[in-house]
């Protein structure tokens, strides 16, 4: 604890060990639960709260980790008889439950039948402790008043339960107007529970603690790299400029002061939320994005994005109304940028959207118009999600003919990325710190996406480069990123994964950037080139050598083969592909994208030599062609142009036409 009692310093790992990861929604399938358990393992949370039938599944999936299994009984309303709750608790602990969450009989508490409530808690606690587990008693505070909470704390303290918890997440209170309200964990209730519980009883904020504006949660504080406090921290003494403390460990970023906590959504957040379509069409757009666009940008992890997407729509469904707490504008802006990009490449999904009474063009135009108007509200947040938002929109405008929009967006994303130190290396620290390792991969993805968009803005339209490579020491992307669901099989076989594309494109971007600086920078005028052509020859040769080495290092699946047979039937039915077939389809499109980028980079590198116009167009001497740098440059540029033309004549381009792979064609 800081000397200032209003400040608290925590790490992501410490936060994770305070969390019971809830996998209790009634609609969750086994696949959903398995996905949730994977998240629990990744972040190293305290427990995974599961439905009783899923205990064995959770025990198996969490084997070898320090994440405990926490089944729930009498959930979510506490209406089962005492005998049933005791039986449930006995079975749940016998088959592997380490902690038991039990909901009290709320009606009995409200009716003042404290003997019943006490006897029930005692019986359940006895059977749980006998099995070597612990009991956590859920009050469901939304239904209770202060006197009820105080009495329950005393009962639990006298019995000696391990924890008291605020809520289930399902305690919706019906209002006079027919709407439902829900608060979950609040500071006033938590203060009461801490003050009234015995020394051996711990208190857990639960059931909405990470959404409620006045919850004791670091996520309730809106972090921004643009806050002045971020830049008043003492400088690191590391000679290599390695970021020793990741963003979420800076003391100033977690000030739990009421003035820093937003109780209600801002006007900008409200307006952005109003643009979101219903869950059905929204899911169609998200699925379309990950089928056609994600694998060519890779600015975030798919599993994390989908989880945030589901959480946001759950919040919208259950917490709408004038008193709803703020969710923060960052992810909403990212989601809208995803929608806009997806709508541009909607393909056959258009008819499905129209069945929901949605006009794709009208929705896209409306989203882009509001994002433009609210741009400053979004960018001023200064978060990782702001970087992702800028990359998505900058790439959209860059590859669809609006460079005047792309470059300012790219520049804004770059500046926020630099403020977040995304361009600097982070130490991995404890290898078991899954939360930190995940954060490192998230940051690297965002940085290399910024790097790529800044480079291609300069390559395609001549805009100035935004930064120097000498100021960056962030590591390259990991083609076997363990936090990407797409690499599970390739990590085992060490075969190529779909992430190889982004790794290859990032390395190509670095070569292109070197060419832009070395051949087209402001210090290289035509007069100097004329007086010292050998210096130019050497630079072109060195850059071309790097380019050829890059091309030789490509995985076979990423080498474009225009002669590989591809029937029109295959092209027409690309949307029906699943599993391995769909992965091969993506590899083909990624290979096409890299092919176009490679040929354009070849032209970029050799083009300065064409300005001398010293090659003889009539010479047929092959020996001269190999030694004459001017003629060699002309041949390289001509061959590259022909290769691009050949790509355009293959059926692969038709395959790419409905995906983001086509974005490379204008290069």
DSSP sequence for 147-162: HHHHHHHHHHHHHT-S
Q: Is residue 164 part of a domain?
A: yes
Answer yes or no: do 38 and 166 share one domain: yes
The 3-state DSSP class for residue 521 equals coil
Identify whether 174 is a catalytic site residue: no
**Statement: residue 405 has pLDDT above 60:** yes
Report pLDDT digits (tens) over 45-91: 999 999 999 999 999 999 999 999 999 999 988 999 999 999 999 99
Q: What pLDDT does 636 receive?
A: 93
Answer yes or no: do 305 and 443 share one domain: yes
- Which percentage of the chain shows pLDDT scores above 90? 47
Q: How far is residue 142's CA from residue 180's CA, in Å, rounded to a whole number?
A: 11
Better pLDDT: 36 or 484: 36
Identify whether 41 is a catalytic site residue: no
Most confidently predicted of 390-404, 433-447, 540-554: 540-554
Q: What pLDDT does 578 receive?
A: 61
Q: What pLDDT does 564 receive?
A: 57
The 3-state DSSP class for residue 166 equals coil
pTM to 2 decimal places? 0.63
Most confidently predicted of 165-179, 221-235, 572-586: 165-179
Report pLDDT digits (tens) over 492-528: 555 678 789 889 999 999 999 999 999 987 555 555 5
- Write phi, then psi, for 453 (nearest 5 degrees): -70, -35
Q: Is residue 289 part of a domain?
A: yes
Longest Cα–Cα distance of the chain, Å, equals 105
**Statement: residue 247 has pLDDT above 60:** no
- Say if CB 155 and CB 121 are below 8 A apart: yes
Residue 138 β-bridge partners: 103, 165
DSSP assignment of 530-556: HH-HHHHHHHHHHHHHHHHHHHHTS-G
Q: Is residue 497 part of a domain?
A: no
Q: How many domains does the structure of the chain reveal?
A: 3
Q: What pLDDT does 295 receive?
A: 83
Q: Is residue 542 part of a domain?
A: yes
Better pLDDT: 225 or 554: 554
Q: What pLDDT does 587 receive?
A: 87
pLDDT-wise least confident of 20-34, 67-81, 190-204, 514-528: 514-528
* Among 476, 509, 528, residue at a domain's last position: 476
Catalytic hit among 59, 108, 183, 204: 204
Identify whether 101 is a catalytic site residue: yes
Q: Is residue 79 part of a domain?
A: yes
Q: Is residue 482 part of a domain?
A: no
Q: How far is residue 496's CA from residue 556's CA, in Å, rounded to a whole number?
A: 9
The whole-angstrom distance between residue 100's C-alpha and the CA centroid of its chain comes to 32
Q: How far is residue 329's CA from residue 312's CA, in Å, rounded to a whole number?
A: 11
Question: Measuring CA to CA, which residue among 647, 643, 645, 544 is closest to residue 602?
Answer: 544
Q: What pLDDT does 73 receive?
A: 94
Q: Is residue 560 part of a domain?
A: yes
Answer yes or no: do 141 and 202 share one domain: yes
Length of the chain: 667
**Statement: residue 439 has pLDDT above 90:** no
Answer yes or no: do 277 and 211 share one domain: no
* Among 220, 247, 282, residue at a domain's last position: 220
pLDDT-wise least confident of 42-46, 219-223, 354-358, 530-534: 219-223
Residues 529-545 have a mean pLDDT of 83
Residue 302: count of CB within 10 angstroms of its CB: 17
Answer yes or no: do 95 and 198 share one domain: yes
Catalytic hit among 42, 59, 108, 165: 165
Residues 153-162 have a mean pLDDT of 96
Q: How far is residue 631's CA from residue 616's CA, in Å, rounded to a whole number?
A: 7
Q: Is residue 490 part of a domain?
A: no
Q: Residue 559 belongs to what domain range? A: 520-667
* Among 423, 444, 476, residue at a domain's last position: 476
Q: How far is residue 380's CA from residue 415's CA, in Å, rounded to a whole number?
A: 11
- Beta strand 47-50 with 134-138: parallel, antiparallel or unpaired? unpaired
Catalytic hit among 101, 433, 442, 481: 101
Answer yes or no: do 285 and 208 share one domain: no
| 665 burial via Cβ count (<10 Å: 0-12, 13-18, 19+) | middle
Answer yes or no: do 270 and 416 share one domain: yes
**Statement: residue 225 has pLDDT above 70:** no
Answer yes or no: do 177 and 112 share one domain: yes
- Beta strand 99-103 with 68-73: parallel, antiparallel or unpaired? parallel
Q: What pLDDT does 516 receive?
A: 93
**Statement: residue 106 has pLDDT above 70:** yes
Answer yes or no: do 169 and 282 share one domain: no
Answer yes or no: do 116 and 203 share one domain: yes
- Say if CB 595 and CB 648 are below 8 A apart: no
| 62 burial via Cβ count (<10 Å: 0-12, 13-18, 19+) | buried
Q: What pLDDT does 176 receive?
A: 56
Confidence band, pLDDT 50/70/90 cuts, at residue 221: very low
Report pLDDT digits (tens) over 322-334: 556 677 899 999 9
Answer yes or no: do 193 and 86 share one domain: yes
Answer yes or no: do 441 and 336 share one domain: yes
Mean pLDDT of the chain: 81
**Statement: residue 161 has pLDDT above 80:** yes
Q: What would the two tokens of residue 601 be?
A: 């980079």
């Amino acid at each position: 604890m800081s000397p200032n009692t209003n400040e608290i310093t925590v790490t992501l790992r410490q936060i994770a060990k305070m969390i019971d990861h809830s996998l209790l929604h009634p609609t969750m399938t086994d696949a959903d639960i398995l996905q949730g358990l994977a998240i629990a393992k990744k972040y190293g949370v305290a427990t995974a709260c599961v439905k009783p039938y899923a205990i064995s599944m959770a025990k198996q999936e969490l084997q070898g980790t320090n994440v405990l299994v926490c089944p729930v009984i009498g959930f979510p309303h506490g209406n089962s008889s005492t005998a049933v709750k005791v039986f449930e608790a006995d079975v749940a602990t016998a088959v592997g439950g380490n902690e038991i969450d039990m909901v009290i009989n709320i009606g009995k508490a409200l009716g003042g039948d404290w003997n019943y409530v006490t006897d029930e808690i005692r019986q359940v606690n006895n059977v749980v402790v006998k099995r070597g587990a612990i009991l956590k008693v859920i009050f469901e505070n939304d239904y209770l008043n202060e006197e009820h909470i105080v009495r329950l704390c005393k009962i639990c303290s006298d019995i000696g339960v391990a924890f008291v918890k605020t809520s289930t997440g399902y305690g919706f209170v019906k209002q006079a107007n027919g709407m439902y309200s829900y608060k979950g964990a609040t500071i006033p209730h938590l203060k009461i529970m801490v003050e009234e519980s015995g020394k051996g009883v711990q208190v857990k904020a639960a059931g909405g603690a990470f959404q409620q504006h006045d919850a004791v949660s670091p996520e309730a504080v809106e972090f921004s790299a643009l806050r002045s406090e971020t830049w008043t921290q003492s400088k690191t003494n590391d000679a290599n400029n390695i970021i020793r403390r990741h963003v979420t460990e800076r003391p100033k970023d977690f000030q739990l002061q009421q003035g820093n906590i937003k109780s209600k959504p801002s006007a900008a957040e409200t307006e952005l939320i109003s643009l979101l379509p219903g869950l059905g069409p929204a899911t169609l757009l998200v699925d379309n994005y990950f089928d056609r666009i994600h694998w060519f940008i890779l600015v975030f992890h798919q599993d994390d994005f989908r989880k945030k997407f589901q959480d946001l729509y759950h919040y919208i469904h259950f917490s709408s109304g004038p008193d709803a707490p703020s969710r923060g504008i960052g992810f909403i802006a990212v989601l809208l940028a995803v929608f806009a990009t997806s709508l541009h490449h909607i393909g056959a999904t258009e008819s499905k959207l129209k069945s929901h009474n949605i006009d794709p063009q009208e929705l896209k135009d409306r989203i882009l118009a509001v994002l433009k108007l609210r741009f400053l509200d979004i960018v001023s947040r200064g978060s990782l999600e702001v970087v992702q938002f800028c990359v998505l929109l900058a790439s959209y405008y860059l590859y669809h003919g609006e460079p005047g929009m792309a470059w300012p967006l790219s520049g804004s994303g770059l500046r926020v990325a630099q403020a977040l130190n995304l361009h600097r290396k982070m130490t991995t620290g404890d290898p078991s710190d899954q939360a930190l390792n995940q954060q490192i991969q998230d940051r690297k993805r965002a940085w290399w996406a910024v790097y790529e968009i800044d480079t291609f803005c300069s390559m395609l339209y001549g805009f100035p480069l935004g930064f120097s490579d000498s100021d960056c020491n962030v590591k390259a992307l990991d083609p076997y990123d363990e936090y990407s669901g797409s690499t599970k099989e390739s990590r085992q076989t060490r075969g190529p994964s779909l992430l190889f594309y982004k790794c290859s494109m990032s390395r190509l971007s670095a070569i292109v950037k070197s060419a832009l600086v070395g051949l087209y920078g402001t210090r290289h005028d035509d007069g100097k080139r004329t007086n010292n052509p050998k210096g130019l020859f050497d630079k072109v040769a060195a850059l071309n050598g790097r380019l050829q080495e890059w091309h030789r290092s490509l995985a076979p699946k990423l080498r474009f083969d225009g002669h590989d047979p591809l029937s029109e039937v295959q092209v027409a039915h690309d949307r029906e592909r699943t599993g391995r077939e769909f992965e091969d389809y993506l590899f083909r499109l990624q290979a096409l994208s890299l092919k176009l980028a490679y040929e354009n980079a070849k032209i970029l590198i050799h083009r300065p030599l064409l300005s001398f116009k010293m090659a003889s167009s009539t010479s047929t001497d092959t020996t001269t062609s190999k030694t004459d740098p001017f003629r060699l440059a002309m041949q390289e540029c001509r061959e590259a142009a022909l290769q691009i033309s050949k790509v355009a004549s293959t059926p692969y381009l038709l395959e790419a036409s409905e995906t983001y792979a086509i974005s490379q064609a204008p290069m």
